[in-house]
Structures are given as C-alpha cells and as structure tokens.
Amino acid sequence: MDKTYLEINKQSWDEAAHRFFGRNPLPDYGPLAPSEDELNLFGDVTNLNVLEIGCGSGHSLRYMDQRNAGELWGLDLSKKQIEAAKTVLKNCHSPVHLFESPMEDNPGLPTNHFDIIFSIYALGWTTNLDKTFANVNQYLKKGGIFIFSWEHPIYNRVSNENSTLLFNKSYHEEGSYYHEAWSEPAVMQQYKISTYINTLINNGFKIERMIEDVRLTKEDIQRDSNRWYSYEKAKALPTSVIIKSQKL
C-alpha cells in the first residue's frame, strides 16, 4: 500500500468529515441507486456479527442495530469519522467496537468471526484492493456475506457537456487519481467492474448478485441530484454498482 496516499486521505477525510455526516447510509446504497428496502441483500440480521469497512459517521451501523444485529464493528481511516460514529452509536443495544484504521491493515479485528461485512461507498478509497479483500475474507466466517457499493467505474469516465455525454477518459485505464471536488487533496482508485469481480474470486469469494440499476423517481432525483449525480447522466449510465458475494 502507499503510505503517502493513506496520509493524504486521512488528512482530507478529517477535514471533510462534517460534510458527510449521515450522508447516504443504509438503507441507501448510493445516489440514485436502489435501496436495501427494495433489494433485501442482507436478509434477517438478528444476532449476527456485522462489520462495516469505512464506517464513516456510524449511521449504517445504527441501521444494523435497529434491525437487531448482534455485535457492531466498524473501521475508518478518519479520526473525525470515528469520533462522530462513537457519538451516533453510544445508545445502541448491541456491543460496539470501532477502530481508526485504513482498510488495508488489520487493527486487531478477529478472524473467522463475522457473519456479514459491508461497505457503502468506501471501497474506492483503498490503496490495495487485493489486500482489502483478503482481509475481508479473513474476518468472515465460512459462508459469510460481503456486500459493498461504490460509484460505478464508468460513471466518472463520462462528462455531461451541453446535454451531450462524452467519454473524458478510457474505461480501461485503472489506478490512482486525484479527487478534484474537495478543497483538501485526496487520492481515489479507479478499477473496472471485472477487476472487482476477479479480485473477489481470487480471494475466495463467489459472486451472488450484482446490481447496476438506477432509480429516477421525483423523490430520488430531488434527494440525490447535484452537479455530479445528475438526472441527465443517470438516465443513460449507472451511478453505482452493488455486489453481494459469499466466502467459500
């Protein structure tokens, strides 16, 4: 992993954490994407041990608590996000364990312990996808479920210029790039769909389901549309990809 990138992103997320407090947590999977209420990928989580990779402000873990999950575990690179999550989760019924750590490292999480691991719009920040998926496999029980969502890799390859959609970069190009939307510099990763799927398979997972659908009701558009996630782009391109896999 690139320690420099991790240091850059940690500082950037500590600066930006307040902007993302409670934004698009479960049951949402991402802007203009179908929700868990519709997809039911988790099923019944009663008494299950769950871990969130990139837990942010803790609102998705609180959603798990409201659905009677067993143990709640979360890790996040940002100190500010972990502080926010501690506040959000302080009155949960379930035991809570939070770690300030990059997803590429194991900060002391138990192995073969979790029934479900999930990540909502965080996987694109990893500096080492293979190591991150290897960690997830190690944490899960045999037969455990891994669910994640992320911005669809084709979405930021296309720009909307005067109501015309144009490719601004090749879909085949992968690797690190600077995220330009924030005042503080941040480094994100670009992978193809096949890279996510093949890396999962190489790390001992089988793919159960992949979703690329969009939701363009008036309510969705009003809630999620902005200069980046726009109706014009979303009616032609998927905004998000959601993948459910199982540890073999």
Predicted confidence (pLDDT) per residue in 70-128, tens digit: 999 999 999 999 999 999 999 999 999 999 999 999 999 999 999 999 999 999 889 99
Query: pTM (2 decimals)?
Result: 0.93
CA distance 82 to 101: 10
Q: Which long-range contacts (CB under 8 A, 24 or more apart) does 142-145 make?
A: 142/112, 142/247, 142/248, 143/246, 143/247, 144/114, 144/115, 144/116, 144/117, 144/246, 144/247, 145/42, 145/115, 145/116, 145/117, 145/208, 145/244, 145/245, 145/246, 145/247
Strands (E), the chain: 50-53, 72-76, 96-100, 114-120, 140-151, 158-161, 164-167, 175-179, 186-190, 205-211, 240-247
Nearest to 116, CA basis, from 75, 160, 147:
147
CATH of the domain at 110: 3.40.50.150
What number of CA atoms fall less than 13 Å from residue 133's CA on the CB side? 23
Please report the pLDDT score of residue 1 as a whole number.
44
Q: Tokens representing 150? A: 């992320």
The per-residue pLDDT for range 101-117, each reduced to its tens digit, is 999 999 999 999 999 99
Total tally of structural domains belonging to the chain? 1
Nearest to 238, CA basis, from 211, 220, 210, 212:
212
In this prediction, residues 130-140 reach a mean pLDDT of 98
Please report, rounded to a whole number, the percentage of residues in the chain having pLDDT higher than 90.
Answer: 72
CA distance 223 to 218: 9
**What mean pLDDT is reported for the chain?**
91
In this prediction, residues 217-226 reach a mean pLDDT of 72
> 73 is in which domain, residue-wise?
3-245
Q: Using 50, 70 and 90 to split pLDDT, how confident is the model at 177?
A: confident
In this prediction, residues 187-207 reach a mean pLDDT of 96
